[in-house]
Amino acid sequence: MDGVTVTRLAELVAGGGVAVLSGAGLSTESGIPDYRGPTGRARPAEPMTYQRFTGSAQARQRYWARSHVGWRQIGQARPNAGHRAVAELERRGLLAGIVTQNVDGLHQAAGARRVIELHGGLDRVVCLSCRERTPRAELERRLRAANPGWEAAGARINPDGDAVLTDAQVAGFQVVDCAACGGMLKPDVVFFGENVPRPRVDECFALVAGASLLLVLGSSLTVRSGLRFVTKAASLGIPIAIVNQGETGGDADASLTLDAPLGPTLTELTARLPVPAQ
């Protein structure tokens, strides 16, 4: 770890008003793989699209079978040192808020409160007909009841909780519909091919625009979804600091970049900051 760079980062963060933008790299130490970082480079990514999900009963069967297996890992994941450090920065009054591209809920589980889930959360399910939102735990109980004796172990788990299963493992899996209206159920997350709700995007832009520093944690900034906030900060002259393993799409706009593991780096960062008087 580059101690000099961590010291410079601490100096930037100490001023407060920090907007955090987090990505999948922050959750890898909790056992959740990423798509483009060190744990994801050798793994092909085949995320479900909104169009395929809504247009094909077979695609929904495949998605829910894979997600039913993957949820066991995502649902049991616990915050790591990086999540706890971010929550501690919030507790010390240094953060303006957190925008996370992750759908795992680990920021909140670590104690953070001002969190905007840009892409939604896997712990909720939404009906595409009546729009009722229900806890994922309730759906899991219904899926187990509809599929007694069905077991499948995925070869790997993707960041969105999607386990890789064979066609034979998926065959025979029973999907359930909305208990209230019989409509199609979907995880309360933004699929590829689906737009993030405009009010949520506007809230994120407002957070970034009002910040004194944009701190990017564990995001490769490869796609526009996250990069647009870095571009916004740069256009407003707001300093940008990036902590990630590997290069990112925002490095050219950053005042500071640090290629290092998130957990140890953020733990060291909090250790270098003064603890406010109680």
- Which ranges of the chain would DSSP assign to H, the alpha helix? 3-13, 50-55, 57-76, 81-91, 106-109, 136-146, 167-170, 198-209, 224-235, 262-271
* Mode of pairing for the β-strands spanning 256-259 and 240-244: parallel
- In terms of phi and psi (left: phi > 0; alpha: psi -120 to 50; beta: otherwise), the region of 164 is beta
Task: State in Å, rounded, how far the first CA of the chain is from the last one.
Answer: 31
83 counts as catalytic = no
Facing residues of 125 across strands? 134, 187
- How far is C-alpha 201 from the chain's CA centre? 15
- The residue written with tokens 């297996």 in the block is 69
* Phi, psi of 271, rounded to the nearest 5 degrees: -65, -25
Catalytic residues: 119
